[in-house]
Amino acid sequence: QHFTGEQSYLSSPQLHTLETFSNQLQENSPQTTLSSPPPWFNRLICGDKSQVLPALIREFANSINLIYIDPPFMTGRDFTSGTQLAYSDKWNNDLDIYLQWLYETFIQLHRLLAQDGSLYVHLDWRATWLQV
């Protein structure tokens, strides 16, 4: 299915944070004597990118300095855990479907990036043709 615009993303359900980890600054830390930015936090979120990214955009649009992603590689294989299918990376053997998925992902990630932000994409040797 090809990208149909943001309308389908706006109605995505709320995400549930599994756990939030906060790093409180020490009182004697030199960082607290500066402008004291808010403490950082990490989230572990389980969900599909079509729901996760729009929810993150609502909270972090234009503010992320670095995004590192390790998307599927279009290996044409199924990955299992024991006898259970963990992930299918076949994409119906259709490069257009895979590229559309990457395009939709990159558009959403771009909306998260700050003006001076960077996106690092990890792909394997099968995707050397995907260069910016």
The pLDDT of 103-121, averaged and rounded, is 96
DSSP state of 64: E
pLDDT score, position 36: 59
Q: What is the pLDDT of residues 42-61, one digit of tens each?
A: 777 777 888 899 989 999 99
Cα–Cα distances (Å) from 70 to 55, 67, 119, in that order, read 20, 10, 11
Could you tell me if 93 and 76 are in contact, meaning their C-beta atoms sit under 8 angstroms apart? yes
Q: What is the pLDDT of residues 8-40, one digit of tens each?
A: 433 444 555 554 444 444 444 444 445 655 666
Checking DSSP bridges between strand 41-43 and strand 20-22, what pairing results, if any?
Answer: antiparallel
Q: What is the pLDDT of residues 59-79, one digit of tens each?
A: 999 999 999 998 889 999 999
Q: What are the contacts of 6-9 at 24+ separation with CB within 8 A? A: 6/54, 8/50, 9/50, 9/53, 9/54, 9/108
Instruction: Quote the pTM value.
Output: 0.67
pLDDT score, position 104: 94
Could you tell me if 99 and 49 are in contact, meaning their C-beta atoms sit under 8 angstroms apart? no
